[in-house]
A and B are shown apart, each in its own frame.
Chain A
C-alpha cells in the first residue's frame, strides 16, 4: 500500500492502517526524539503524544510526497519534545559559557567516524546541543528555533556558534580529518 492511500485510511479511522503507519515510522521518530531528550522513558511519553497528534492532524496535512510527510511528522515529534523540555528545564537555555565547560572528553586523534561524531555532539551542554541539532540536523532556521524554544533569535545564533567553536576545539588538529578533507 502506498503512503498516500495509507494516510487516507488513517484519516477514516482504520486502526490497521494506523498501526502500519506507526510501525513504518516509529524507529525513525523515536531516534529523532531521543537525541533531544536523552531519556527513553521521557521519549516514550513524547512519542505517545506525537502519534496522537499525528493521527488527529492527518486530515490537515496535504500530501505531496513521502519525504515531505516524514519531515512533517518529525516536526510534530520535535515540537512535542521541545515543549516537554521547556517545561522541565526552563532555565537550560541561558547563555552557557565555554570556560565553564571543561568536563567534555578530549577527542582522540582517530576521531573521524560517524559514531564518534555523534558521541561528541551528545557530550555538548544541553542548550548548545539542542540548538545545534535543530539547526544542522533538522534544518530549523534560527528564527524557528527562537519561536520553538521561546528564546531570542540572537540567543539561538550565539548558542549555535558556541557549540560550533566547542566542537572545533575538541576536534583540534583532526578537524580536517573529521570533515573528510
Chain B
C-alpha cells in the first residue's frame, strides 16, 4: 500500500514537472547567455595573447641569434 501511495505521489510530481510553464524564461535566458558569452570571450582573449607572445618570443629569438 505504501508503495502504491509513493507511486501516485511520484506520478503527481512528474505530471507537474512536465506541464510546468515557466513565465520568466526569457529573462533567465538573458542571464545565462550573458554568462556563456563572457565565458567564450575570456579564452578568446588568451588565445590572442598567446599568438602575440609567440611572435614576440620568435622575434626575440631571432634578435639574440643575430647578436
Contacts and interface: CB of A to CB of B under 8 A. Distances in A.
Given A31-B22, A52-B36, A118-B13, 18 more contacts: A15-B33, A23-B29, A26-B28, A27-B20, A27-B22, A30-B20, A48-B28, A51-B32, A52-B32, A55-B36, A114-B8, A114-B11, A117-B9, A133-B13, A136-B6, A137-B10, A179-B8, A180-B8
B37 to A, nearest CB: 8
B4 to A, nearest CB: 4
Interface size class of A (residues with CB under 8 A): 35 or more
A179 B7 CA distance: 9
A13 interface: yes
A53 to B, nearest CB: 11
B35 A180 contact: no
B49 interface: no
B21 to A, nearest CB: 6
B32 A181 contact: no
A111 to B, nearest CB: 12
Interface residues of B, number: 32
Q: Is the interface of B mostly helix, strand, loop or mixed?
A: helix
Interface of A, secondary structure class, is: helix
A117 B11 CA distance: 11
A44 B24 contact: yes
Interface string B1-34: 1101110111111111111111011001101110
A44 B26 CA distance: 12
A156 interface: no
Contacts of A56: 39
Contact of A52 (B18, B21, B35): B35
Contacts of A52: 32, 35-36, 39
Contacts of B20: 27-28, 30-31
A20 to B, nearest CB: 11
B65 to A, nearest CB: 40
A83 to B, nearest CB: 18
A137 B2 CA distance: 14
